[in-house]
Structure 1
Amino acid sequence: MNIPVDCWQHFPPLNCNHTQNQMHVQRNHRRWARTRFGITFRYDRRYSHPFKLMSYNILAQTLIEKHPYLYTTHYQPYLEWPHRLQCLRNEILNIKPEILCLQEVQESHLDDIAMALKPMNYDKPLYKQRTGIDYYDGCAIFYNPQLFKLIDHHYVEFYQPGVKVLDRCNVAIIAKFASRRLKNIQFIVATTHLLYNPKRDDVRTAQLQILLAELDRMSVHTETQEPLPIILTGDFNSLPSSEPYKLVHQGRTNSVNLPLELGITDDCQHMNVTIHQNRKTTALFHSDKKTNDATETVSDDVSDSTDKTAVAKTVETSGLPYNTGSLWHMLNLTPTLYNMESNNIASTYQNKWILVDYIFYTKYSRRTVGPVVIPQTFSSLKLLANFELPYVQNCQRMGCIPNSIYGSDHYSMASEFVLMNR
């Protein structure tokens, strides 16, 4: 059932106290917590640009219909799209994020979501559907164009023909923004939804190797070519003890050895970037250039005409790190929450309450060479506060989700950042 996109007030009401009940439950279930920097931070419009960012797997309706056995214990009216959209809308409008990253966004519901979030004054969202004809959901990024200018973006596909470890349909979006308040301040926001299969850390690690290489390629200032701070969000389907999580946070894990012809080395960089300083083209396959780009400055890195044999030979003879047995990267990404390894907090239920959703950010300035990043100075992006995830015991008391309050089978992630002129 779709809601009339031209008339939000036609949305069927739940009850007059629903929004108040939702806010009351959230206040008791979750809370905003300031960081040490956030406690002492004093806003100055001349030098700082604070904003909230939210990441949320909102559960595509087609997946409920495709896997009904996962929701047999739920009260069925709470699984219907109109109810869930109302709950999602209330939660998002309560947080008020200037940038919103969503996963499992059903393409046919994109207009419904945009109309529901009209009070947020978002621009047309960036949207990338999962690769393949049998998938109807994907990732999306909404943003406030009065605060941020979208200067570049790219839709990442992890599917690569003929590569067994990359034969899945998952995708990501990378967006490069400029602050409209601070001159020459740019930053990267990316969101993804990695493979679900709990047994396939190797697939998720390979997907992350591509995503990290794409982030490395795109995260440079358009004028100065200096490295930009990054915010990476999404449903990683990876526990804090897993190899994919270690690769993102600790910057190193065991290698899965992608084929040479993809042109990505063990330091999660594109050969074209390392050898040729070419950030416009890669050896990666992309299924369709004609995605719904919101800007004409989209990066063009479709490579059907690339000579993959020549790419493989170049990597093999270049002396670049390949088949070393390890993967590493230089993006220096830190999780926004500090107690992730404690197993006391959760973002979804998969046979038990677990944590698989994250927001990572560039806390320290990045080096452009060398596998070891030694923090020198803080980046222009700083963390002010987190909307903390619920404790497992609170999740157990709340019961299964979606429910009367929450519209998804994941809890949302949210953080408040500030961009600063250093």
Structure 2
Amino acid sequence: MIPVTPLLTAITVTRTFRRNIDVILFHCKKVYHMTTIPLKHLLIKNLNKEASGVEALFSTYVDLIESNASESTHREFQKSIMEPYLKTCYGSSINHRPCDASTVNFKDNLMNHECTSSPPTNPDLNLNLQENTTPTSDIRRALQNYKAMRSWKKVGRGRSLPSSEANFVIRLFSYNILAQYLLETHSYLYKHHNQCSLEWETRKKLLIQEILEAQATVICLQEMQEDHLNEFLKPFKEHKYNHLYKKRTNDKNDGLLLMFRSDVFDLIEYENVEFFQSGTDLLNRDNVAIIVKLSLKNSPETQIVIATTHLLYNPKRNDIRLGQTQILMAELERIAFIKNTSRGPKYHPIILAGDFNLQPKSGVYKFITEGSFAYMGKSRTLEQADHRRLSNSLIPPHLYVTDSCQHFFILSKRLRNRGEGNVMLENSEKGPPRGSRDSSDQNQFKRNEVDVQNRNFQKIQISDGHHVKFGSGSLTHPFKLRSVYSHIDRNGQDEATTHQDGWVTVDYIFFSEVELIEQYTLPTQKQCKALATIPNHAIGSDHLSIGATFILRKKLRQ
């Protein structure tokens, strides 16, 4: 007769043992598939003869290993009731009940998209299950909780904006969808998640559902895995979306996906921006950006520049994110530029969205929204520092990107009306930069005009009243960018877009020269606690999606 106390201990420890040993067994397939060996009986036997629970756990694992080659172990337990070892999925959000990844399914017949300033509603886009199946109360509750947190909220004049042929309504949706290979590579980050909800097929359906439901005219996705791209695009192609994809550089297998409605926009110009620049310590990461210039089909003179990016994650290296943002702003300035006027340069409207991996009010956030930032003397986090302070030079002058986030040769061509206006950035798709310091394009200037070996402050006059700076210790950019979100609700509660040791905001939509009339509301940090761990059966990623609706003023035909 087995004593009561050891039996109770065995049941408790067995559950813990199953969850903790599962990772080891997964990588030892011969052991993992030995479902004829009753794990609980092995553990009870070892608990009775070992001095401690830890020793019993170890002995049980050894028994499983040895039993792979020993038939005696099999015979010993043939007298017992055999309990096959089933891999179950546990999740903190559903009370540790087993689940089936095949439970969740969607109807293939999704909505027809029309751009509108009203919130999209379509009952066919609710989570649908296969016939003759019923969702568990936990899954239904998770969906209801999530949908209650997310809605399209009118802001500003959007509450009473009259219809007008002079206005075009554009809706943008941005989402870091979590590349599956990154999830599996960093599986330790998701060990407390419901394992069924981490499967790509399950997540993909949730992601496509939420993205299409937004009825966006432009979609910006981050962490789109390259080998999932073609399959993922199928429903979007059916709904008249064209796309651009940019994989991260070097050996990374994910990247950015930007989609736009082909029946609404024409593509005028685009640039795949690479932040990796060889020989530059600050720019040695594989992050990228996509910038597009689009025109309205029914108003070709009306153009807008839209960009998406995914900046470096490392929380301690805001200096790298600042350098990446300097490159991004220089490319935005080049593509969005229209003409010089007596009041200064004129630019197309801009919308910039993505995962910036920075929090509100941080140094890079201030640079984006305020248009200037002094980094010299600060730490790598761009906070005040007592040691390891940043110098006056952020990125090297041989890239020819000025401290006002403009390409030197582009600006020189505009103001001097000579030269080819080269961009001196590396790009793996285009090869090395056109020209060198000895090129004819650059020889039209004084040879020592920009000293690329000099990291000290340089101030160079390009034309009367116009000069540029290198190594000044601060950056500026020409755009008046605002954030769609205030990052705090009316009750003073912080909003959140992902969980990184706590609920934080890292995903943004910035805009200029368009009018914000709607935002896809974000939950507060307090509300996010009801979501438990994400991804789950309601949310397909470890980020929350963001979105906004804008008014773009149509230009009159000249």
Please classify the TM superposition score into its range, dividing by the shorter chain length.
Answer: 0.7 to 0.9
Matched, 1:331 2:479: yes
Greater gyration radius: 2
The farther-off stretch of 304-313 and 64-73 is 304-313
Q: 1:263 aligns with which of 381, 400, 422?
A: 400
What aligned pairs does 1:6-17 form with structure 2 within 5 A after superposition? Answer: 15=130
User: How far 1:140 sits from its partner (Å)?
Assistant: 1.0
Distance 2:147 2:347 in 1: 38
User: How far 1:308 sits from its partner (Å)?
Assistant: 8.0
Distance 1:211 1:107 in 2: 23
User: How far 1:47 sits from its partner (Å)?
Assistant: 1.0
Q: 1:306 aligns with which of 436, 459, 463?
A: 436
Identical counterparts, % of pairs: 36
Distance 2:333 2:488 in 1: 25
Q: Which residue number corresponds to residue 409 of structure 1? A: 542
Distance 1:214 1:154 in 2: 8
Matched, 1:358 2:508: yes
The farther-off stretch of 318-327 and 68-77 is 318-327
- CA contact 2:178–2:223 (8 Å) conserved in 1: yes
- CA contact 2:411–2:421 (8 Å) conserved in 1: no
Q: Which residue number corresponds to residue 176 of structure 2? A: 57
Distance 2:219 2:206 in 1: 16
Q: 2:531 aligns with which of 398, 404, 413?
A: 398
- CA contact 1:49–1:181 (8 Å) conserved in 2: no
Distance 1:64 1:9 in 2: 26
CA offset digits 1:258-295 (Å, max 9, x no partner): 111110111111111222227852111111229xxxxx
User: How far 1:257 sits from its partner (Å)?
Assistant: 2.1
Q: Which residue number corresponds to residue 241 of structure 1? A: 361
TM-score (norm 1): 0.84
User: How far 1:206 sits from its partner (Å)?
Assistant: 0.2
Distance 1:120 1:130 in 2: 27
Q: Which residue number corresponds to residue 106 of structure 1? A: 225
Q: Which residue number corresponds to residue 318 of structure 1? A: 460
Q: Which residue number corresponds to residue 199 of structure 1? A: 316
CA offset digits 1:77-134 (Å, max 9, x no partner): 11110000000011112111111000000011111211133453212x101000102x
The farther-off stretch of 251-260 and 51-60 is 251-260
Distance 2:480 2:518 in 1: 20
User: How far 1:244 sits from its partner (Å)?
Assistant: 1.0
- CA contact 2:413–2:421 (8 Å) conserved in 1: no
Distance 2:108 2:545 in 1: 25
Letter matched to residue 521 of structure 2: E
Distance 1:308 1:360 in 2: 39
Distance 1:9 1:249 in 2: 41
Q: 1:349 aligns with which of 493, 499, 513?
A: 499
Distance 1:189 1:105 in 2: 18
3-state secondary structure, aligned to 1:327: strand
What aligned pairs does 1:370-409 form with structure 2 within 5 A after superposition? Answer: 379=513, 381-409=514-542
Distance 2:142 2:531 in 1: 12
User: How far 1:305 sits from its partner (Å)?
Assistant: 3.5
Q: 2:189 aligns with which of 46, 62, 70?
A: 70
User: How far 1:254 sits from its partner (Å)?
Assistant: 2.4
CA 1:280/1:172 → structure 2, altered by over 3 Å: closer, same or farther? farther
User: How far 1:226 sits from its partner (Å)?
Assistant: 4.2
Matched, 1:250 2:370: yes
CA offset digits 1:169-200 (Å, max 9, x no partner): 00000000001233411010000000000000
Distance 2:272 2:493 in 1: 33
Matched, 1:282 2:423: yes
Letter matched to residue 265 of structure 1: T
Distance 1:347 1:92 in 2: 16
Distance 1:308 1:83 in 2: 56
Q: Which residue number corresponds to residue 13 of structure 2? A: none
- CA contact 2:145–2:530 (8 Å) conserved in 1: no
CA 1:42/1:119 → structure 2, altered by over 3 Å: closer, same or farther? farther
3-state secondary structure, aligned to 1:177: strand
Q: Which 5+ residue runs of structure 1 have no aligned equivalent?
A: 1-7, 291-301, 363-378
3-state secondary structure, aligned to 2:301: coil
Q: Which residue number corresponds to residue 90 of structure 2? A: none
Letter matched to residue 373 of structure 2: T
User: What RMSD over aligned residues (CA atoms) do the two structures have, in Å?
Assistant: 2.7
User: How far 1:250 sits from its partner (Å)?
Assistant: 1.1
What aligned pairs does 1:115-264 form with structure 2 within 5 A after superposition? Answer: 115-123=234-242, 125-133=243-251, 135-221=252-338, 226-255=346-375, 257-264=394-401
CA 1:64/1:49 → structure 2, altered by over 3 Å: closer, same or farther? same
Distance 1:408 1:287 in 2: 30
3-state secondary structure, aligned to 2:470: coil
TM-score (norm 2): 0.64
CA offset digits 1:207-229 (Å, max 9, x no partner): 0000001000110349x994101
Q: Which residue number corresponds to residue 162 of structure 2? A: 42
How many equivalent residue pairs?
382
Q: Which 5+ residue runs of structure 2 have no aligned equivalent?
A: 1-106, 110-127, 376-392, 451-457, 462-467
Distance 2:141 2:207 in 1: 14
Q: 2:148 aligns with which of 13, 24, 28?
A: 28
The farther-off stretch of 113-122 and 135-144 is 113-122
The farther-off stretch of 317-326 and 212-221 is 317-326
- CA contact 1:346–1:353 (8 Å) conserved in 2: yes
User: How far 1:389 sits from its partner (Å)?
Assistant: 1.1
CA 1:343/1:241 → structure 2, altered by over 3 Å: closer, same or farther? farther
Q: Which residue number corresponds to residue 373 of structure 1? A: none
The farther-off stretch of 113-122 and 77-86 is 113-122
Distance 1:97 1:169 in 2: 28
Distance 2:318 2:493 in 1: 19
